[in-house]
Amino acid sequence: MNGDGECGTTEESREWVKDHSDWHCPICDEHFSQRGGKSIDHKLPRSQYPWLSMDFKNLWVICLACNQEKGEMHWYEYEQYIFMNYPNLYLNVRSARPKQLLEALKN
């Protein structure tokens, strides 16, 4: 699922990537080609929330470099990490917060 050539393994997932990404990563705002290509990432890690692994509200297209840096961090942990290490990117990450999913987890 990583890199421009393999971002999506089915026709449906490739279409989804095309419809949900542009030329730039929503986190670092760099052109995908400058950062290793596109990757499909789980906002809430599938290792912690396997039941959300195929929920499209939990997916986003980010660059490979940002995906690798995010790793398996929980969303709030990731927001704090960005705030502490890349404060200029914090608003990008906060605006992508999976609010509905996080609210649903409270219940």
pLDDT given for residue 5 in this prediction: 44
Contact assessment for residue 45 and residue 58, using Cβ atoms and an 8 Å cutoff: no
Residue 38 in contact with residue 17, Cβ under 8 Å?
Answer: yes
Q: What value, to the nearest 5°, has the Cα angle with vertex 90 and ends 86 and 93?
A: 120
Rounded Cα–Cα distance for residues 24 and 37 (Å): 10
What's the pLDDT score for residue 98? 94
Question: What parts of the chain have a pLDDT lower than 70?
Answer: 1-9
For residue 31, the cross-strand partners are: 24
Considering only CA atoms, which of 73, 3, 7, 82 is closest in space to residue 36? 3
Residue 8 has what pLDDT?
A: 60
